[in-house]
Amino acid sequence: MPGQDALVITDIDIYPSFLEATVRCRADRVLVDARTYGRVEQLLPGVSDQLCVHAGHSRFGEEACGTELPHLLEHVAIELLVLEARDYSPDEQSTFLGATTWRAGSDGPRASSGSGGRDGKPRRSVFSNGRGNDGAGEFREMRVRLTFSHDLVALAALKHGEQIVRWACGERDEPPDVGEVIRGMHLLRER
Ligand SMILES: [Zn+2]
């Protein structure tokens, strides 16, 4: 139920080469704490090495604590896409671009970020300031954008990412099985 979860994907728009999701957070739990990030880092160590152009940092690991949960979701989903490409689809795109911005009317403590894969190449980033606060009250909404080579694989990465972030926030006891998640994503590619 949206009112209970730390993070909920409320809608997803699919475009030819990217998707964009609205992610809703509880206003009192928007930011990533050290415990939450520690769990993510243990499950997906590569997340820390992803490039992230935000506040002068270059690695997401330096930015993660204190950033917003949807921004963490963006990097988790990218890591799942990177792992699927690495393990199963070496000939497919393995650099993915993401961006997380405040949704208009859902202004928050920070404006935006851009980020991408971790193969060392420069990344384009997207910056967009929130446009005021409509008094959304107990929720904050951000838009998370991901580029993809296969729409279903990217959708799965986003939905599994949502589950992983919820688990990291302490909302599920069982840690997700990343190997199973990646395998399942790959099966979607073969349909
Ligand atoms: Zn980032």
What pTM did the predictor assign? 0.82
- Please give the distance, rounded to the nearest whole angstrom, from the Cα atom of residue 16 to the centre of ligand 1: 22
- Secondary element (H or E) of residue 80: helix 69-88
Is 123 in contact with 51 (CB distance < 8 Å)? Answer: yes
- Please give the distance, rounded to the nearest whole angstrom, from the Cα atom of residue 82 to the centre of ligand 1: 15
- Please give the distance, rounded to the nearest whole angstrom, from the Cα atom of residue 6 to the centre of ligand 1: 19
pLDDT tens digit sequence for 129-164 = 333 344 446 899 999 999 998 999 999 999 999 999
Q: Could you give the 3-state DSSP secondary structure of residue 17?
A: coil
Q: What is the DSSP string of 104-133?
A: TBB--SS-EEEEE-SSS------------B
- Please give the distance, rounded to the nearest whole angstrom, from the Cα atom of residue 191 to the centre of ligand 1: 31
Query: CA 172, CA 176: separation in Å to the nearest integer?
Result: 9
Looking at residue 90, its pLDDT comes to: 83
Question: For residues 159, 33, 78 and 109, what is the CA-based torsion angle, rounded to 10 degrees?
Answer: 90
- Please give the distance, rounded to the nearest whole angstrom, from the Cα atom of residue 101 to the centre of ligand 1: 10
- Please give the distance, rounded to the nearest whole angstrom, from the Cα atom of residue 118 to the centre of ligand 1: 11
Looking at residue 55, its pLDDT comes to: 65
- Please give the distance, rounded to the nearest whole angstrom, from the Cα atom of residue 125 to the centre of ligand 1: 9
| Residues contacting residue 55 through CB under 8 Å, at least 6 positions apart | 63
- Please give the distance, rounded to the nearest whole angstrom, from the Cα atom of residue 60 to the centre of ligand 1: 6
pLDDT tens digit sequence for 3-30 = 468 899 999 999 999 999 999 999 989 9
